[in-house]
Amino acid sequence: MPAHFMATLPNFLAYFGVSIGLLGLFLLVYVTVTPYKEFTLIRGGNTAAAISLTGTILGFALPVANVVAHSDTLLDLTMWGAVAGCVQLAAYFAVRLLLPQLNDDIPAGRVASATFLAGLSLGVGIINAACMTY
């Protein structure tokens, strides 16, 4: 194998592992904060839950991916990943203020509210990722 590949593989594995760990931790916090059980709803075929959670995951993953591309250390990645998670949680709470019925809409399978939450989460994630370019 090329020497460069072998030399950079440990960094790839470290950044990938920390990124997946951040995603897992973010998902754990997010599904704990929301009053409905996203994974149970998704297993039951609830499209609204799948749409909203997918948008939130992408809204978190975009800034994390950007930080991976620009960070110097795993600590830097971890700290900015925490910021990305907080921003996504703030986006969720903002949508709850705009759509007070959101916590009833998602379990009921109402796709309009879920699509708005997903879109806002993704939009905020894109802006967040751009702000994390340094």
Where do the domains of the chain lie?
Answer: 14-131
| Confidence grade of residue 45 (pLDDT, cut at 50, 70, 90) | very high
Q: What pLDDT, on a 0 to 100 scale, did the predictor assign at position 131?
A: 95
Whether the model clears a pTM of 0.85, i.e. scores above it, the answer is yes
Give the DSSP letter of residue 107: T
User: For residues 57 and 23, is the Cβ–Cβ distance under 8 A?
Assistant: yes
- Cβ of 121: how many Cβ atoms within 10 Å? 27
Checking if the pLDDT of 26 tops 90, the result is yes
Give the closest residue to 67 by CA, choosing from 120, 4, 23, 118: 23
User: For residues 77 and 15, is the Cβ–Cβ distance under 8 A?
Assistant: yes
Give residue 31's Cα distance to chain centre: 11
- Cβ of 84: how many Cβ atoms within 10 Å? 27
- Pair of tokens at residue 76: 């830097």
| Confidence grade of residue 80 (pLDDT, cut at 50, 70, 90) | very high
